[in-house]
């Protein structure tokens, strides 16, 4: 998210809420929950990036938004490439999380499980559950920062 911690947390929060809402309704149709969740997080982050870019462009005297109405969902080749690269980066980042961190992160951020319940489910202390979620977030943040640095160099 451009190295902006607040935007990254905003995207993560939006995706977590959306996952909690949609998973209960669509759980029986989801064959691979990890893939579904990864796609949800990627798509949410991309939507937020597009929203921010559109706001910046309009603030700099760009279009009034009529072009967006005329071509809803239109995506430039650069957008497509950026989306694929970000998707790959996030997929790799989530897959690269150690199992112990991944489980804690999914329980807390996706399922919104309270820390005491995470600790009980994983047979760890509440303090350890908090630390694992913190470490998982940090690893994902680093993956996104590397992606952003590479994107700026290109």
**pLDDT category, 75, cuts 50, 70, 90?**
confident
> What percent of the chain has a predicted confidence (pLDDT) above 90?
15
Residues 150, 14 contacting (CB under 8 angstroms): no
pLDDT-derived band at 89 (thresholds 50, 70, 90) equals: confident
The domain spans of the chain are: 5-153
94 or 97: which leads in pLDDT = 97
- Grouping H, G, I as helix, E, B as strand and the rest as coil, residue 111 is coil
Region 104-110: what's the mean pLDDT?
A: 77
DSSP line for 39-62: HHHHHHHHHHHHHHHHHHHHHTT-
Asked if the model's pLDDT at residue 26 lies above 50, the reply is: yes
Q: Could you give the 3-state DSSP secondary structure of residue 115?
A: helix
Give percent above pLDDT 70 in the chain.
85
Give the per-residue pLDDT at 68: 47
């Amino acid at each position: 998210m451009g190295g902006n911690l607040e935007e990254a947390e905003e995207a993560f929060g939006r995706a977590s809420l959306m996952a909690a809402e949609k998973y209960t309704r669509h759980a029986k149709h989801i064959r691979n929950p990890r893939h579904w969740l990864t796609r949800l997080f990627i798509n949410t982050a991309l939507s937020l990036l597009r929203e921010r870019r559109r706001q910046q462009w309009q603030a700099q005297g760009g279009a009034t938004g009529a072009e967006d109405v005329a071509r809803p969902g239109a995506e430039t080749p650069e957008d497509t490439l950026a989306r694929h690269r970000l998707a790959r980066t996030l997929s790799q980042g989530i897959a690269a999380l150690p199992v112990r961190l991944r489980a804690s992160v999914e329980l807390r951020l996706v399922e919104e499980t309270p820390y005491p319940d995470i600790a009980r489910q994983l047979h760890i202390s509440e303090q350890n559950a908090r630390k694992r979620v913190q470490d998982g977030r940090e690893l994902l943040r680093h993956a996104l920062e590397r992606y952003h640095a590479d994107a700026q160099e290109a």
